A = this chain, B = another copy of it.
Amino acid sequence: MFLKNTWYVAAKSEDIADKPLGRRICDEPMVFYRDGSGKVAALEDFCPHRGAPLSLGFVKDGKLVCGYHGLEMGCDGKTVAMPGQRVRGFPAIRSYPVAERYGFVWVWPGDAEKAHEDSIPQLEFFDNPAWSYGGGLYHVKANYQLMIDNLMDLTHETYVHANSIGQPEIDEVPCKTTAEGDRVVTSRFMHNIKAPPFWKMAMRANGLPDDADVDRWQICRFSPPSHVMIDVGVALAGRGGFDAPDQDKVYSVVVDFITPETETSMWYFWGMARKFKPQDAALTDSIREGQGKIFSEDLDMLERQQKNLSAHPTRELLKLNIDAGGVQSRRVIERLLAQEAGVGA
């Protein structure tokens, strides 16, 4: 069960160039390509002729051509042409609303009439010279909600990421979870601590003394269907923390777009938008590499957790205060799923 009337990140813009890209999203096989004007189109990855995957074909003059017998598909799912055939009566395949924003391709797997680009989240840190972004993509064999749980409870950093961003103080300082409408926020503020290795590196990069006492914050923001933006950073102790002036802190947003592939697998688009030294491309690369290593530490845990849960589907799990962010996010998803079912979406 997935929310369908919503936007998911399907791909990085750069991954859809001259060749079509096949990708399963919400258990639907899709093919993405660029039409003649460079606009991205998303279709069912199923040729109406003989069922071949269109993603094995190619793009010619902005039309997607099936690589098996040359059927030419339009971006509306209607066959445009086929050598030697009259195609008017060919059954259409499904086309999906698709948009390109912030360097990502977004797809709407549900009812096309309900799709409006306005509902793509507004994110201040993209397309903004004060910020810089770098990120990557992982395929993870676990239900996408396990990743939301993971990101809405950062106490796991102390254990899974002990050598980079984890530190005991995350465990010791309680978090606070609030929900407002469809949004859930879990925040934690730590004062007068030492920065962990990742943030020491960031402090040095930004010209701050890495052995200074700092205030650290983590503000995890869930919005449906499965986006988690996390304000993270450290400021020199006593300068206002999250609200400290820019020169006294290093501040970034962990950007997580989580897209279900199947019930037990996901596409995980991870990245970091930072508000310090935005022009420093080498720093962007270095952070991306570091974050990629750190985030890969979660994968085995989530995949093995999924196996345990698949083997015990009815077993109750604990819902502690630290789990409140994930639990509330699940409630939002459940409520929206019920809404979609109710209106026959």
Please report A residues at the B interface, Cβ cutoff 8 Å.
29, 45-46, 48-53, 56-57, 65-70, 82-85, 90-91, 149, 153, 155-156, 158-160, 168, 171-172, 174, 300-301, 304-305, 307-309, 311-312, 315-318, 320-323
Residues in B whose Cβ lies below 8 Å from that of A309: 51
Interface residue from B45, B68, B172, B315 paired with A51 (Cβ < 8 Å) = B315
Q: Which residue of the partner chain B has the closest CB to A320?
A: B85
Q: Which residue of the partner chain B has the closest CB to A70?
A: B159
User: In the docked arrangement, what's the CA distance between A124 and B317, Å?
Assistant: 47
A interface SS class: loop
User: In the docked arrangement, what's the CA distance between A153 and B48, Å?
Assistant: 16
Quick check: B300 and A51 within 8 Å, CB to CB?
no
Quick check: A67 and B318 within 8 Å, CB to CB?
no
Q: Which residue of the partner chain B has the closest CB to A158?
A: B70
User: In the docked arrangement, what's the CA distance between A308 and B46, Å?
Assistant: 7
Interface residue from B70, B172, B304 paired with A155 (Cβ < 8 Å) = B70
Can you list the 5 inter-chain pairs with the closest CB atoms, starting with the nearest? Answer: A83-B171, A51-B308, A52-B305, A53-B304, A49-B318
- Please give the distance in Å from A31's CB to the nearest CB on chain B: 11
Quick check: B52 and A304 within 8 Å, CB to CB?
yes
Quick check: B48 and A318 within 8 Å, CB to CB?
yes
Quick check: B160 and A67 within 8 Å, CB to CB?
yes
Interface centre among A51, A53, A84, A91 (most CB of B within 10 A): A51
- Please give the distance in Å from A252's CB to the nearest CB on chain B: 24
Residues in B whose Cβ lies below 8 Å from that of A315: 46, 51
Quick check: A68 and B301 within 8 Å, CB to CB?
yes
Quick check: A312 and B50 within 8 Å, CB to CB?
no
Quick check: A69 and B312 within 8 Å, CB to CB?
no
Residues in B whose Cβ lies below 8 Å from that of A65: 159
Interface residue from B68, B149, B156, B307 paired with A159 (Cβ < 8 Å) = B68
Known: A83-B168, A85-B321. 10 other contacts (CB 8 A): A29-B311, A46-B315, A51-B317, A52-B304, A56-B304, A68-B160, A68-B301, A70-B158, A82-B320, A84-B174
- Please give the distance in Å from A312's CB to the nearest CB on chain B: 7
User: In the docked arrangement, what's the CA distance between A316 and B49, Å?
Assistant: 9
- Please give the distance in Å from A325's CB to the nearest CB on chain B: 13
Residues in B whose Cβ lies below 8 Å from that of A322: 69, 84-85
User: In the docked arrangement, what's the CA distance between A155 and B49, Å?
Assistant: 13
Quick check: A308 and B84 within 8 Å, CB to CB?
no
Interface residue from B67, B171, B305 paired with A70 (Cβ < 8 Å) = B171
- Please give the distance in Å from A328's CB to the nearest CB on chain B: 15
Quick check: A50 and B323 within 8 Å, CB to CB?
yes
Quick check: A51 and B312 within 8 Å, CB to CB?
yes
Quick check: A68 and B300 within 8 Å, CB to CB?
no
Q: A51-B308, A305-B68, A311-B29 are in contact. Are A318 and B90 (CB under 8 A)?
A: yes
Interface residue from B50, B149, B172, B301 paired with A318 (Cβ < 8 Å) = B50
Residues in B whose Cβ lies below 8 Å from that of A57: 159
Residues in B whose Cβ lies below 8 Å from that of A156: 68-69
- Please give the distance in Å from A3's CB to the nearest CB on chain B: 21
